[in-house]
Amino acid sequence: MFTDVEIAVPVQTADDPSEVDRLLKQAAGVESESNEATVEIFRRSLDARQRMPVIRIRARVYYGLEPPSERPTTLHFRQADPRKRVVIVGSGPAGYFAALECLQYGITPVVVERGKDVRDRRRDLRAIQQEGIVNPNSNYCFGEGGAGTYSDGKLYTRSKKRGNVERVLKILVDHGAHPNILIDAHPHIGSNKLWLVVQSVRETIEQHGGVVRFNCKVNDFTITSNRIRGVVIDNGEEILGDAVVLATGHSARDIYVLCAERNIYIEAKPFALGVRIEHPQSLIDRIQYRLGTANEELVNTTSSVPQRGHSLPAASYSVACQIESRGVFSFCMCPGGLIVPSATSTDEIVVNGMSMSRRDSAFANAGTVVSIESEDWDHLTPRYGALAAMQFQATVENAAFLSARSDGDATNPQRAPAQRLTDFLTNKISSDLPATSYIPGLAPRDLREILPAAIHHRLNLGLREFGKRMHGFITSDAVMVGVESRTSAPVRILRNRETYEHVGVQGLYPCGEGAGYAGGIVSAAIDGMNVAQAIAARIFRAA
């Protein structure tokens, strides 16, 4: 027999497995010392709605019978058949999970990555942070693992209808991620640990006959009689396969240009654009947990984050509103995190956020963005066609770059324009700026110089609304850093909804975030698996 139970425990208690086990058995009416009872936890989440935050735990308590064995193996890999090959452009979650799924069918995946492997990539991240040197092929967006590897590793998704989320998480656990991601309501790996998981995934691919090639930038497609046969990389080599998966991520502008030049159907797509706002994490904690009043007793000098003065995890937030028929919302919130430079060329400033696994930075940051619609880029369409939204995005990023350099300070070319939140709302240039996690440094600027008027206006009104919902959010201790622009792809590469194949080129499979069909690690991974399944069905149907 078994009983499903749910308990709420203090945060400190949740870190004691034996006590949690005892309380769950007690809730099920089972003797806590009974060796015949076992516990399987399904879900764990923080509930901060009450005056005293608690951890809610849902579990199934088995007694009088053996609990089910370990969750079933996620993938049964076969040794790859070299006669069946799929070329996968990009080694992010969409590309690597497509490769893993190919191996389930015995198909050889050949992954072509413009950037470096996940270990060597770290040198280029250090260069852009410390010296402002942008390697256009190896940075926070490009390289093994894609943009998610070194920009947080959050795994939460609402895309449960697209596929099996648990399967994706289990694969990550099989490759080294902490098993807690299977039960946490908002799972997170952390940039300091995800790179090891990514490396392990690649080892699985190679051990089963798959191929992963780095420093191979795709310059052209091999297309004959409206069917793609393969890709051409920058040394002139042609790599052929039975199908080509385009899983390049949302920043591969050269691929979008190539698609336009080769008459591969694409269209401009809405995205979102704004800034990244950074607060002291202690302030967000006080707002979200109402610390300093009923929760003073939560202070714990043994906390893993002692400077924050309590044992609760770093608090996060999510806010959204409609301003003049446009969404204004927080995006990719990073509690206990850092702001990082995510430019992919030398003439732009792009910022993103990340957290380590412990989320123990003194800062909290979140993208705060406004929906961008066709009316914003329509004036560019006559010249740029389907690339108009991309060009709009690039123009704002270049404006941020030029603004930050306008005083002639060449300390770090990736120094970002910034403004205190209170000064932004009153249209004042900040005389100074608060401490920041952004290593390249900040330049006090009026963000009206950078953000298009309609975006600046809605952002101003939206932030005032956020301040009403989160008392204390509007503060001079918060800094707005420009620009947050890579929220999603500004281009969609069109495909058939049923077959996942491109609507005009046979054998071409647009995939993941870069093609406009995903938004994060998990949804991109699911899309990669779905695409690979569609390819396998076609290959074996033709055999």
- Does the pLDDT of residue 302 top 90, yes or no? no
pLDDT value for 410: 79
Q: How far apart are CA 87 and CA 101, in angstroms?
A: 13
pLDDT value for 295: 37
pLDDT value for 310: 55
Give the residue with greater pLDDT, 65 vs 282.
282
Segment 69-101, tens digit of pLDDT:
555 555 678 899 999 999 999 999 999 999 999
Segment 119-170, tens digit of pLDDT:
999 999 999 999 999 999 999 999 999 998 987 778 877 655 667 899 999 9
pLDDT value for 296: 38
- For the segment 400-409, the average pLDDT, to the nearest whole number, is 93
- For the segment 417-423, the average pLDDT, to the nearest whole number, is 98
Q: Where are the alpha helices (DSSP H) in 121-242?
A: 121-130, 165-174, 191-207
**What are 320's two structure tokens?**
């959204």
What is the SS3 assignment for 53-118? Answer: CEEEEEEEEEECCCCCCCCCCCCCCCCCEEEEEEEEECCCHHHHHHHHHHHHCCEEEEEECCCCCC
Segment 380-391, tens digit of pLDDT:
999 999 999 999
Q: How far apart are CA 248 and CA 92, in angstroms?
A: 8
The alpha-carbon radius of gyration of the chain (Å, integer) is 24
Sequential DSSP letters for 411-441: S-TT-EEEEEHHHHHTT---SS----S-TT-
pLDDT value for 11: 85
Give the residue with greater pLDDT, 30 vs 170.
170
Question: What is the average pLDDT value for the chain, to the nearest integer?
Answer: 91
- For the segment 445-458, the average pLDDT, to the nearest whole number, is 97
pLDDT value for 299: 37
Shortest CA distance to 198 belongs to which of 125, 73, 95?
Answer: 95
- Does the pLDDT of residue 366 top 50, yes or no? yes
- Does the pLDDT of residue 471 top 90, yes or no? yes
Shortest CA distance to 452 belongs to which of 383, 369, 385, 387?
Answer: 369
Give the residue with greater pLDDT, 228 vs 53.
228
Least confident span in 4-18, 233-247, 265-279: 4-18
Entry pTM? 0.92
Give the residue with greater pLDDT, 16 vs 478.
478
Shortest CA distance to 448 belongs to which of 478, 428, 465?
Answer: 428
pLDDT value for 35: 67
**What are 526's two structure tokens?**
């699911």
In sequence order, the β-bridge partners of residue 81 are 107
pLDDT value for 7: 95
- Does the pLDDT of residue 33 top 80, yes or no? no
pLDDT value for 327: 98
- Does the pLDDT of residue 426 top 70, yes or no? yes
**Residue 4 host element (H or E):** strand 2-9
Q: Give the chain's length.
A: 543
Q: How far apart are CA 216 and CA 280, in angstroms?
A: 41
Reduced to 3 states (helix: H, G, I; strand: E, B; else coil), residue 233 is strand
Q: How far apart are CA 387 and CA 251, in angstroms?
A: 13
Give the residue with greater pLDDT, 66 vs 203.
203
Q: Residue 407 carries which side chain, given as an amino acid letter?
A: D
- Does the pLDDT of residue 316 top 90, yes or no? yes
pLDDT value for 297: 36
- For the segment 504-529, the average pLDDT, to the nearest whole number, is 96
- For the segment 389-414, the average pLDDT, to the nearest whole number, is 94
